[in-house]
A and B are shown apart, each in its own frame.
Chain A
């Protein structure tokens, strides 16, 4: 018995003692009532954030909480560039909360007066979306890279070691056997050229036999992902100083064909947007208000406001997203992927046949005549185009000389006068004949409008209906409604329409809808935006510097150049060979053909690269079909690309294959000046600036590691023009140094502050305190003269410079109007050829069947009986293409993505909701879970991008011998980009739009199998 009692005593002592010991921290912190556990700042509300505003109960007024600074900057969780109000704990310097900047147009319809003191804005908050709110999780991502990393194993082995900034700069600049310290046999003995070695060849031609290729320094290729505004300008400055034309951003995986189609109609504009708030009817094509587009939250907000006032809108998309809801005011029209052009051409045919277009407006051939008639813009609809077969300028506008007219002042185009019935110079005509075909001076010509009409008439309405899957009656209904609101109707599209091989022509056709009703510059119509306050010139000239000139040569992806101008073409012709096909396509009309960079470098067409920089770039994740083993293996081989440097905030899905990772800053720690999107209708420049001290390390002289610091240090090491002591000229002829990023960006801010000869007011002392700007000024005092600081700080205090909201409209007209000539005929396109087939591109909007670059229709390439489904991607409102997997708050809302299919499609495959399936494409398969929806067109698979990472914290890495474990939530879900359809005619090239240059995301054939 005694033994048992002792046993109980032992149990009691050990249990209570051990248990209490195990709970020592919980119990210890619980006992003293004034400090319990993680100390609760408030006895009742606990750890709830202390508010940034304090309510004075006696007056009912709010006053700023002195414990926090409020700073206004610009978001980059997506590309909407929304203004942010960032609440920063002054003690810790950490971000506590993010909401919208009420002074910026994206964040409030009635955004606040620029002069309103911040202290008066407590009850007037701006909005941001969920992505904006969670931005602090991007900043404080535990997987952030804060010091330079160098690989210690083969590329992609994810073995790294931290190195000093000095070692990093020295190795990449000086080159040599810099990988001798790795255990990679492929690169241990490799002699790397380095920046200096390449720069020393700056006077050598890239190809002595093809001088158009430029200098050897074009061997530096900068593949930028998201890099916009003045940060891009900074990158361009470095590229020009070094002597390379090869610096890019990601646009061809975004929506470049939209930009090119827009530029074709609205010269030098890459986007036009509807005045949603004033429109009576809006058609959204391949996009849905509230899911994506520029700016997403603003479009959603405007659409909601308009809808409440009675505006009706239609969403044309194979997938019903959040904004495409039903009801009396909104309608979803489901359409077969890539056939928007057919629907638009059907509408155009109906509009022309039924006389439902603005013939008067289209008949004015110049701005003077248009304005005299009360119009706000003019078009080339009446311009004559040479259609004489075999004519050396077939497809070009008829010139006055060719028409036998004396060349007068102004533009060199010809119209048929409406009254005279004879050829007249377009610049001088009052009103012109719109629909004309005939002969002028012996040359057969047609008006641009006639060409459009004929193009629309290539198919009947029923044929268009059969192509796009929208009934002919519905096409007519849509056209009727679109033309029933005068100028207060608009057609708006985004990447769903253009990410096809026929993307340019789809977009071109959609723009025609607006042109035909003449809604540009009218309230409720289409806006080209209010523009920005610039920043590159003014008090300081950031575009130039002593010795700085523009780099020259053919870009490695052959964008902006005609194959027919190349030495290669001429040699083939001279040798009597058929010059077609070129080895890879050329893209004379477009820019940022990002997807062509890696394959072109590997193939050495037109030349090889020595150094590749990835900045915020992840081609293996984002480019359709390129995250495949074959290409990755090629990139991993140092003999193909001797030096790869990635500028990233984490070890990403692609940057994991680099040799070095330079720690970049996040959007809360960096600079950019960028104009407002056209949607807002107003003029403004938003300023992104370092509202917190960067988390990255510092150089010996105290500058934080960043992409700019890297470029500056490389430039200074090489003595490049435009960097160093005498780099930035001001208007008085003084040369200012460029040694830190603030040396550059603060001067742009000064230009913005003083733009238009109308400087902003000086910052108020109270705003200085609320934004905690005194310390900021002190830190960078020497970058600006003392007298400019108060205005620069005012711009920072507001997060940019914005004109008053009421400037959006001027009566029934838009406040900012675009007056260049609109084009319904793309002469430059019509005169160019596909470098693979040698065939000319059409110059009018038309329905073109999607095809490979060599012209094989996709329906033949991937027959429907073998591949019954098509994959579409979409960008949900909780994700941005490749990033944000670190934002666990967003992942809580949607931790995984699905393979979304229609219930009827599921029935065909014998699937039910939640089943695991293999998605198979011609290039591989991936496993995911199906989600059945009614809001997906049968025969279509769709999935939200941003999931299924393998880098970005999703895989374990070794850093300095320590294993960093992955975060499983980042690898959750499915990502289908790597198995998307590639063009069978060109190695490692996705299906591509040969005119617009877009990589194709929406034409991958697929089938499903039970997993």
Chain B
């Protein structure tokens, strides 16, 4: 383990962009890492949403914490932003939907068809549940704030949610929860399994990366519930809230422990017991990528958040903030490493591909995040979030 976490690696912090992208035409750029990160976040939010729906009285309007209400719109926005990244990544974006018009038999052996079918359903479900996560009255009031002639459109956009609630139908709500559990696992796992499907790339072919993707997705969901959703709530309403409920914190700790055990176990395995291609990966991690991995993933993404959350420090707001930022950063760093690092290896086992930053990637990354913000704001407007009920007193407090 010392090879992957050693002091001499710590002295120099390499800029992340030293590793940016590969200098040739490869299937994936950072846009795929963005996509994986965003879909992972959506999956984490979905699982947190499920946990809160089951564990708390979220079926009733009184039990719905504002953070909970933000989960689905955030998930929907991140899914769309993720889609934008992947659309920019593939140069013929509409080929992604040819299956619908040409028949799926053309994709007999292509794993991509599962994503093309399931992830839009996930998006639609998140969109729908965004409006199911607030009371019908609140939605009614929100729609009423728009001109009357827009009401049919807004009804369509909200899937007429002001007229019914799934939580009124226990069986339906159980089905929806079941579906969301599936989506919640599928979304973070899909990008990992997609990479596993590529033959002969040791970083990608390990199930360890899939486990890390799902663990970091959960940690991200928890971090959002802890600190980022309250911040968004503040931006949207001007009201400060704090989620004092401790389960997201411990859920994040558990997820980070799983990620850490998986990561270090994986590294131990490949360096000691791995096959030749695995040893290539070991050399990559302990060589050219060593400092970046140690800093961006192991320290910022794993150890720092664990220390901040698993100790009494975790009671401090600033600790949770720092931990949340670390979780998001580390979650991106590990995806970055898997996607870009995987491509830096080559099948002959000879050396590593260099890296140059493609301006297009920066462009599309930036504008996809801008779109995410815009879509989230739109959803919050539709939900009339700024008119939202006061947060539940037992879970948070208004200031």
Interface residues, chain A, with chain B CB atoms under 8 Å away? 1, 3-5, 7-23, 26-27, 29-30, 33, 36-40, 43-44, 46-47, 878, 888, 891-898, 913-914, 916, 929, 967-969, 972-973
Contact = CB atoms under 8 A, between A and B. Distances in A.
A9 B23 contact: no
B375 interface: yes
Contacts of A18: 367, 370-371, 374
Interface stretch (B90-98, B168-176, B212-220, B316-324): B90-98
A679 to B, nearest CB: 26
Given A4-B237, A9-B381, A15-B375, A893 B346 contact: yes
Given A26-B84, A969-B353, 14 more contacts: A1-B238, A1-B386, A12-B378, A15-B372, A19-B370, A23-B84, A29-B94, A36-B93, A37-B93, A40-B92, A47-B92, A892-B26, A914-B283, A914-B287
Given A9-B381, A11-B374, A15-B375, A929 B238 contact: no
A435 to B, nearest CB: 52
A898 B380 contact: no
Interface of B is mostly: helix
Given A8-B386, A16-B374, A893-B348, A929 B287 contact: yes
B198 to A, nearest CB: 14
A1 B385 CA distance: 11
Contacts of B236: 4, 7-8
A133 to B, nearest CB: 15
A27 B367 CA distance: 13
Given A12-B374, A36-B95, A43-B98, A22 B367 contact: yes
B194 interface: no
B193 interface: no
A898 B380 CA distance: 56
A209 to B, nearest CB: 56
Nearest to A891: B24
Contact of A973 (B351, B366, B385): B351
19 contacts: A1-B238, A8-B377, A8-B380, A8-B386, A12-B375, A15-B373, A15-B374, A22-B364, A22-B371, A23-B371, A29-B93, A30-B93, A33-B101, A38-B92, A39-B92, A894-B351, A895-B353, A897-B350, A914-B286
B364 A929 contact: no
Nearest to A36: B94
Contact of A19 (B84, B91, B381): B84
B11 interface: no
A968 B353 CA distance: 10
A23 B85 CA distance: 9
Contact of B88 (A3, A23, A33, A972): A23
B235 interface: yes
Contacts of B376: 11, 15
A965 to B, nearest CB: 9
Contacts of A21: 367
B35 to A, nearest CB: 13
Contacts of B88: 23, 26
Nearest to A888: B24
B371 A19 contact: yes
B352 interface: yes
Contact of B377 (A15, A29, A891): A15
A141 to B, nearest CB: 14
Contacts of A10: 377
Given A9-B381, A895-B352, A19 B368 contact: yes
A942 to B, nearest CB: 13
B386 A30 contact: no
Contact of A968 (B91, B354, B381, B385): B354
Contacts of B98: 43-44
Interface string B232-250: 0001111000000000000
B353 A893 contact: no
A973 B91 CA distance: 31
A23 B364 CA distance: 7
Interface residues of B, number: 54
Interface of B: 23-26, 84, 87-88, 90-95, 98, 101-102, 106, 235-238, 279, 283, 286-287, 346-348, 350-356, 363-364, 366-368, 370-378, 380-381, 385-387
Nearest to B24: A888
A968 B23 contact: yes
A969 B93 contact: no
Given A15-B373, A914-B286, A5 B386 contact: yes
Contacts of A5: 381, 386
B88 to A, nearest CB: 5
A7 B386 CA distance: 11
Given A44-B106, A968-B354, A969-B354, A895 B367 contact: no
Give the residue among B101, B368, B370 with the most A Cβ atoms within 10 A: B370
Contacts of B350: 893-898
Contacts of B348: 878, 893-894
Contacts of B94: 29-30, 33, 36-37
A555 B90 CA distance: 59
Nearest to B283: A914
A40 B351 contact: no
A15 B370 contact: yes
Give the residue among A4, A39, A893 with the most B Cβ atoms within 10 A: A4
B102 A22 contact: no
B23 to A, nearest CB: 5
A389 B364 CA distance: 86
Give the residue among A878, A897, A929 with the most B Cβ atoms within 10 A: A929
A391 B326 CA distance: 91
Contacts of B366: 22
Given A8-B381, A16-B375, A892-B346, A968 B93 contact: no
Nearest to A14: B374
A15 B371 contact: yes
Contact of B351 (A4, A897, A968): A897
A898 B351 CA distance: 7
Contacts of B364: 22-23, 26
A1011 to B, nearest CB: 12
Contacts of B102: 43-44
A914 B352 CA distance: 11
B22 to A, nearest CB: 9
B84 A40 contact: no
Contact of A12 (B237, B346, B381): B381
Contacts of B378: 12, 15-16
A680 B377 CA distance: 73
Contacts of A3: 238
A21 B102 CA distance: 30
B125 to A, nearest CB: 21
A434 B238 CA distance: 109
A653 B375 CA distance: 53
Top-5 shortest CB links A-B? A15-B374, A896-B351, A19-B371, A22-B367, A11-B377
Contacts of B283: 913-914
B386 A893 contact: no
Contacts of A968: 23, 354-356
A83 B155 CA distance: 68
B375 A895 contact: no
A37 B355 CA distance: 26
Nearest to A40: B92
B23 A913 contact: no
A891 B347 CA distance: 11
Given A23-B367, A898-B350, A30 B374 contact: no
Contacts of B353: 891-892, 895, 969
Nearest to B354: A968
B352 A23 contact: no
A21 B371 CA distance: 10
B203 to A, nearest CB: 15
A14 B371 CA distance: 8
Contacts of B279: 913
Contacts of B354: 895, 968-969, 972
Nearest to B284: A914
A930 to B, nearest CB: 10
